[in-house]
Amino acid sequence: MKHLVKIFILTFFILTFTNLSAEEKIVYLDLKQILNNSSAGKGAQDFLKKSFTDNQKKFLEMEKSLKKEEKDLLVKKTLLSKEEYAKKVDILRKKVIDYQSARRASLDKITALRSESRETLIKKIEPILEIYINENNISLVVDKKYTLGGNPENDITKIIVEKLNKELPSLNLK
């Protein structure tokens, strides 16, 4: 009987102290929203979209001129000698290869800029988040995409966006 009472008292204290220490502050944020809705993130997205559409227009015009050149060459096929036709076909192929490599390089450049701007934003978010965590005694911050639900009071996305906008108004991409 004495052992049963000791076990009961020990269990009571363990559960009481465990419950007291479990009251740690856990918050969440939406990293995607921070990256998309901060002024630097919006500016970077606008710049990248503009670059992409400008390149698309440029390459579309190049593609049209190459197709026109190909049609003209096919029309002249019967008028040209085999050697002359073969030379013009080779020249056209080289132009197509140059077009494809330029287009691929352009897309790779935009992809690299996008990745670089994302990394820059995340690097700027980290110290802001650390300061906020220390000031508010937060024990854990979770990205919203990894949570099933939560109290909207624990969402710190807007606060971090405001602090990021003050710290980094623009990324200056070029």
Question: Which pLDDT score is estimated for 10?
Answer: 57
For the chain, the helix, strand and coil percentages under 3-state DSSP, each to the nearest 5: 80, 5, 15
Chain-centre distance for alpha carbon 29:
16
CA distance 115 to 173: 12
Read off the pLDDT band of 20 (50, 70, 90).
Answer: very low
SS3 of 169, please? Answer: coil
Count of the separate structural domains present in the chain: 1
SS3 of 65, please? Answer: helix
In this structure, are residues 152 and 28 in contact, taking their beta carbons and an 8 Å threshold? no
User: Is 140 part of a structural domain of the chain?
Assistant: yes
Q: What is the CATH number of the domain that holds 144?
A: 3.30.910.20
User: Is 10 part of a structural domain of the chain?
Assistant: no
Question: pLDDT (tens digit, 9 = 90+) per residue, 32-43?
Answer: 999 899 998 999
Question: pLDDT (tens digit, 9 = 90+) per residue, 64-86?
Answer: 999 999 998 888 888 888 888 88
Residue 48 has pLDDT above 60, yes or no: yes
User: Is 11 part of a structural domain of the chain?
Assistant: no
State which residues form the domain around 45.
25-167
Q: Which amino acid is at 40?
A: A
User: Is 18 part of a structural domain of the chain?
Assistant: no
Burial 105-140 (b: 16+ CB within 10 A, else e): ebeeebeebbeebeebbeebbeebbeebbeeeebee
Please state the rounded mean pLDDT for residues 82-97: 91
User: Is 15 part of a structural domain of the chain?
Assistant: no
User: Is 20 part of a structural domain of the chain?
Assistant: no
User: Is 148 part of a structural domain of the chain?
Assistant: yes
Residue 2 has pLDDT above 70, yes or no: no
User: Is 89 part of a structural domain of the chain?
Assistant: yes
Number of Cβ atoms within 10 Å of the Cβ of 48: 16
